[in-house]
């Protein structure tokens, strides 16, 4: 049972890819690598559903003995009064309380349970899509979450070694509408620092920095938008599209963050500084 859900806790797996043609976004974990790691630690398939915790401040108590793991943004963890570590297998007995404190860096942590969170799937996924309102509701205090049958395989590691925080340099491929912007704006995008503002959620993150000026002033017909797109509204401050982004948009996209850097983008906190670096090659996770 969830005792305290914190500011924004949701159920996430690897989402609903391939449904944009019917107007359904992929959604899924904002930091896919951390979700996969949490599931590997408890012996689940990588796409099993887990709890995505935003910033921390989460607690839960199981009704049966469970194996759990917490990955992603580093957070203090306790089982009752016993301190535990991130990226490790946690043995939590029935009636004990798992508490997740406030993240010291990053934004999103992942709590995986052996057997996965077994809420009913919607369109093939158990993910909460906060924009389309698909999947389970955002978690609240007192919610009881079903746990699936444990897999036949057993965890083979007790703890994972992960890289520490890295600088927020995100590779971008210019376009498809970079020609709608001045040469100075295109240059500023990949040479000037940007700051993540407090205007952000699983849908996208507004950035503060140089005003990106357009050379094409006409309206743009709605066209497809992907995770990682840098969409620029009339004010000239880009929004970085994240997991629950809309499938179409009417503002020009000056560049797209490569797939391999999206997990790091999803862990940028308000006030953090980031830089964009141009590349001509898509890099997948």
| Structural domain boundaries in the chain | 1-162, 169-278
Closest CA to 205 of 272, 117, 138: 272
Mean pLDDT of the chain: 95
According to the model, what pLDDT value does residue 163 have?
Answer: 61
Average pLDDT over every residue of 190-196? 97
pLDDT beyond 70 at 285: no
Average pLDDT over every residue of 166-193? 94
Give the three-state DSSP class for 261: helix
According to the model, what pLDDT value does residue 25 have?
Answer: 96
Helical residues (DSSP H) of the chain, grouped into ranges? 32-41, 183-189, 262-265
Cβ count near 17 (within 10 Å): 14
206-255 residue pLDDT tens: 999 999 999 998 989 999 999 999 999 999 999 999 999 999 999 999 99
Q: How far apart are CA 173 and CA 196, in angstroms?
A: 20
Average pLDDT over every residue of 188-204? 97
CATH code 2.40.100.10 for 169-278: yes
DSSP 117-178: B-PPPBTTB---BTTTTBSSPPP-TT----BPPPPSS----SB---------EEEEEE-SSG
103 token code pair? 């993240």
According to the model, what pLDDT value does residue 87 have?
Answer: 96
Parallel/antiparallel/unpaired status of strands 169-174 and 273-278 = parallel
179 token code pair? 């020609």
pLDDT beyond 90 at 284: no
193 token code pair? 């620092």
pLDDT beyond 90 at 283: no
**128 and 138 Cβ atoms separated by less than 8 Å:** yes
Closest CA to 52 of 154, 115, 130: 130
**158 and 18 Cβ atoms separated by less than 8 Å:** no
49-85 residue pLDDT tens: 999 999 999 999 999 999 999 999 999 999 999 999 9
Q: How far apart are CA 111 and CA 91, in angstroms?
A: 13
According to the model, what pLDDT value does residue 166 have?
Answer: 54
pLDDT beyond 80 at 183: yes
83-131 residue pLDDT tens: 999 999 999 999 999 999 999 999 999 999 999 999 999 999 999 999 9
According to the model, what pLDDT value does residue 164 have?
Answer: 54
Q: Phi, psi at residue 152, to the nearest 5°?
A: -75, -25
Confidence grade of residue 167 (pLDDT, cut at 50, 70, 90) = low
Collect all residues with Cβ–Cβ distance below 8 Å to 185 and sequence separation of at least 6: 210, 211, 212, 213, 214, 236, 254
Q: What's the pTM value of the predicted model, to 2 decimals?
A: 0.94
Q: How far apart are CA 254 and CA 269, in angstroms?
A: 22
């Amino acid at each position: 049972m969830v005792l305290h859900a914190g500011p924004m806790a949701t159920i996430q797996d690897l989402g609903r890819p391939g449904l944009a043609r019917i107007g359904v976004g992929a959604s899924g974990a904002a930091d896919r690598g951390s979700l996969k790691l949490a599931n590997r630690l408890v012996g689940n398939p990588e796409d099993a559903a887990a709890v995505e915790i935003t910033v921390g401040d989460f607690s839960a108590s199981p009704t049966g003995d469970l194996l759990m793991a917490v990955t992603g943004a580093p957070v203090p963890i306790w089982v009752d009064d016993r301190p535990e570590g991130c990226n490790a297998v946690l043995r939590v007995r029935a009636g004990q309380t798992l508490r997740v404190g406030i993240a010291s860096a990053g934004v999103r942590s992942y709590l995986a349970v052996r057997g996965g969170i077994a809420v009913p799937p919607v369109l093939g996924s158990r993910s909460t899509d906060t924009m389309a309102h698909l999947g389970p509701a955002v978690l609240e205090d007192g919610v009881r979450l079903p746990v699936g049958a444990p897999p036949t395989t057993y965890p083979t590691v007790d703890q994972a070694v992960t890289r520490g925080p890295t600088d927020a340099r995100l590779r971008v491929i210019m376009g498809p509408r970079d020609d709608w912007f001045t040469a100075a704006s295109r240059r500023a995008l990949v040479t000037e620092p940007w700051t993540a503002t407090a205007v952000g959620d699983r849908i996208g993150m507004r950035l503060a920095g140089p005003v990106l000026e357009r050379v094409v002033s006409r309206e743009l017909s709605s066209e497809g938008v992907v995770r990682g797109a840098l969409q620029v509204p009339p004010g000239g401050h880009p929004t970085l599209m994240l997991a629950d982004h809309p499938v179409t948009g009417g503002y020009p996209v000056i560049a797209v963050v490569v797939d391999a850097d999206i997990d790091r983008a999803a862990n940028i906190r308000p006030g953090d500084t980031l830089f964009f670096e141009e590349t001509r090659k898509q890099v997948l996770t």
